[in-house]
Structure 1
Amino acid sequence: MIKLKQRYQQWGRTVKFSVLSALLLTSVTVHAAPLVLASKNFTEQHILSAITVQYLATKGIDVTPKTDLASTIIRNAMLNKQVDIAWEYTGTSLIVYNHIHESMSSEETYNTVKKLDAKQGIVWLEPAKMNNTYAFAMQRTRAEKENISTLSQLVDRITQIQKTDAKHNWMVAFDPEFVNRSDGLKPMQDTYQLNLERPQIRQMDPGLVYNAIRDGFVDAGLIYTTDGRVNGFDLKVLEDDKGFFPSYAVTPTVRAEVLNAKPELAEALNTLSRLLDNDVISALNAKVDIEHQSAERVATQFLKDNGLL
């Protein structure tokens, strides 16, 4: 009877040890799981992703990049804890995610989205001193010949051609996301009274818009103001004279749960954010889009140039 009791006690200790070991292994596995960094489908985001992955690796933080995702997919993935980090734009969060269409300064926009997204468990760190907002652009020589320097003047010219020479209607390039966004084509058309027939709206990958403008495939197109091809292709950026496009300051965002577990992430990501402005990111974009370097190579050189590698 005593031996039987001893066997039960030994069995109980073995079970407890096995359960404890399993819990410890599970804890280590969860802790060691790489963070997921999501990025969108254009050059700037590819570069930011590569910079982040390489720099965080020097801090002992393993990151798995997920690239070429739509904004809304990234947002939903963060809310569902499938994505941990993303370089997001203040204007996108304000209008697309939080459905606020009130005109605000860049500082007001940042403070508003930071407060609202905190309720969703998403932390906005320090914004970079860059504003990658939308704009319309044309070939510089074409814009000067047509005497077009503002978006209103472009709309007037498009309307005039529609009325006087419809067979030669002007074509305008857009990326599909902008066409379908709540802060995109439809409200922009309402603001500027821009009426476009369906054949005039040429949807294409955002990276192809610049080539389409340069090569005369379209007469004008929607571009990102920090893209390196704006200067590289000598494009004329038209003034948003009615102030339709909001501020789009790129900012590292992190799930609060992840930041609580890895508080060192904040300073690491803020270090990168402080190095970015419009001139810096435009030059980096140009290295990829015009010089055809890989985003990874550009990221490595950027980090070396700033003493971070």
Structure 2
Amino acid sequence: MKKQIALSLPILSGLLLSACGENDDTINFGTQQYTDPKILAHIVEGIVEDRTEYNVEITKDINASPQVITSLEQGEFDIATLYSGEVYNNHFDGVEFTTDAEETFRQAQEGFEEHFNFTWYDKIGYTNNYVLAVNENVANEHNPEQIEDLEAYADQLNLGTDNTWLEREGDGYRDFQETYDFSFNDERGMNVRLMYEAVENDELDVVTGHSVDPQIIELNMKTLEDNKDFFPSFEGAFVANNDMVEEYPEVDEILQELQDSIDTETMTELIYEVDLEGRSEEEVAYEWLEKNGWLD
């Protein structure tokens, strides 16, 4: 009898560990290559793991927002950060293009709920619009003020951009060429950090940056007026598949609390700490949480 008990102990231990694993619920957060959704993922991670029994697993550097959306739809991700202007990327019909920020956000919120069964939460509070910026040499030599000013010498300029913009329909590079009626000498899709490193090394003349990018200021780049109103508004928001919303009401409540919590200036400062000071997204996120009283 004693021998049988001894043999059963490892098995019993394994069963107990297995049972613990089954109760260890995990929330999956997917992010694009940008720094801001990575910071936000760790902010959500910090609050969820502080207040609940759940763990948060973060998958970073998804190539483009459409892939994030597919993973949300298939249940591979529970939460992501998306931008209102994503509504113009041909995910569903019936969308009317406008540069009005409120209308863009409304169409995104209602459209993704109807067609994808997502909850598109209210705004986090910051805007991450596309901007066209030229390096210091181009700014000094040509002094462009508007995007259309580049037309006369665009065939001499090399463009750097994120992979998403090259692939986007409606407000991506293909439609940009039609709207402004010019093309650049070369266009390269790359990681945002590598893009700004290429600017610093004089390998790129112009980039599609984002309004929260601190590198634009750090590298003395000049942003140009979008005089043909090509770029829509990109206001950040958390998005979750509704299975997660229904199954984890505590997480849903946390995402609602984070609405209107980070403005554009604050997000730019957080990104500066990561991209230019070399700190990790996790460290910066948890510092913000501690400083602003989010953790118990």
Whole-Å separation in 1 of the counterparts to 2:264 and 2:136: 20
Whole-Å separation in 1 of the counterparts to 2:220 and 2:55: 40
Q: Paired residue for 1:58? A: 50
**1:131-170 matched pairs, under 5 angstroms:** 131-140=127-136, 142-158=138-154, 162=155, 169-170=156-157
- Which of the numbers 165, 187, 194 marks the counterpart of 2:182? 194
- Which of the numbers 90, 106, 114 marks the counterpart of 2:109? 114
Question: Does structure 2 retain, via aligned residues, the 8 Å contact 1:138–1:237?
Answer: yes
Q: Paired residue for 1:38? A: 30
Question: Does structure 2 retain, via aligned residues, the 8 Å contact 1:91–1:249?
Answer: yes
Please identify which structure carries the higher helix content.
Answer: 1
Question: Does structure 2 retain, via aligned residues, the 8 Å contact 1:89–1:251?
Answer: yes
| Paired residue total | 274
Whole-Å separation in 1 of the counterparts to 2:32 and 2:205: 26
Q: Paired residue for 1:176? A: 163
Shift of 1:214: 3.0
Whole-Å separation in 2 of the counterparts to 1:259 and 1:181: 29
Shift of 1:108: 0.9
Q: Secondary structure at the match of 2:188?
A: strand
**1:263-278 matched pairs, under 5 angstroms:** 263-278=249-264
| Cα offsets for 1:99-126 (capped at 9, x unmatched) | 5351241111111121121122100112
Shift of 1:96: 4.1
Q: Letter of the 2:217 partner, please give it.
A: N
Q: Secondary structure at the match of 1:68?
A: strand
**1:1-309 matched pairs, under 5 angstroms:** 32-60=24-52, 61-69=54-62, 70-98=64-92, 100=95, 102-119=97-114, 120-140=116-136, 142-158=138-154, 162=155, 169-182=156-169, 183-197=171-185, 200-309=186-295
Q: Letter of the 1:303 partner, please give it.
A: L
Whole-Å separation in 1 of the counterparts to 2:90 and 2:129: 14
Query: CA 1:31–1:243 in structure 2 vs 1: closer, same or farther (change >3 Å)?
Result: farther
Query: CA 1:106–1:31 in structure 2 vs 1: closer, same or farther (change >3 Å)?
Result: farther
Shift of 1:30: 6.4
Identity %: 23
Q: Letter of the 2:153 partner, please give it.
A: R
Question: Does structure 2 retain, via aligned residues, the 8 Å contact 1:209–1:223?
Answer: no
Q: Letter of the 2:110 partner, please give it.
A: K
Query: CA 1:203–1:87 in structure 2 vs 1: closer, same or farther (change >3 Å)?
Result: closer
Whole-Å separation in 2 of the counterparts to 1:224 and 1:92: 14
Q: Secondary structure at the match of 1:273?
A: coil
Whole-Å separation in 2 of the counterparts to 1:298 and 1:224: 20
Q: Secondary structure at the match of 1:308?
A: coil
Question: Does structure 2 retain, via aligned residues, the 8 Å contact 1:128–1:275?
Answer: yes
Which structure has the larger Rg over C-alpha atoms? 1
Which runs of no fewer than 5 residues in structure 2 stay unpaired?
1-17
Shift of 1:131: 1.4
| Cα offsets for 1:244-268 (capped at 9, x unmatched) | 1111111011111211222232331
Q: Secondary structure at the match of 1:81?
A: coil
Query: CA 1:96–1:215 in structure 2 vs 1: closer, same or farther (change >3 Å)?
Result: farther
Q: Structure 2 length as normaliser, TM-score? A: 0.85
| Aligned Cα root-mean-square deviation (Å) | 2.2
Q: Structure 1 length as normaliser, TM-score? A: 0.82
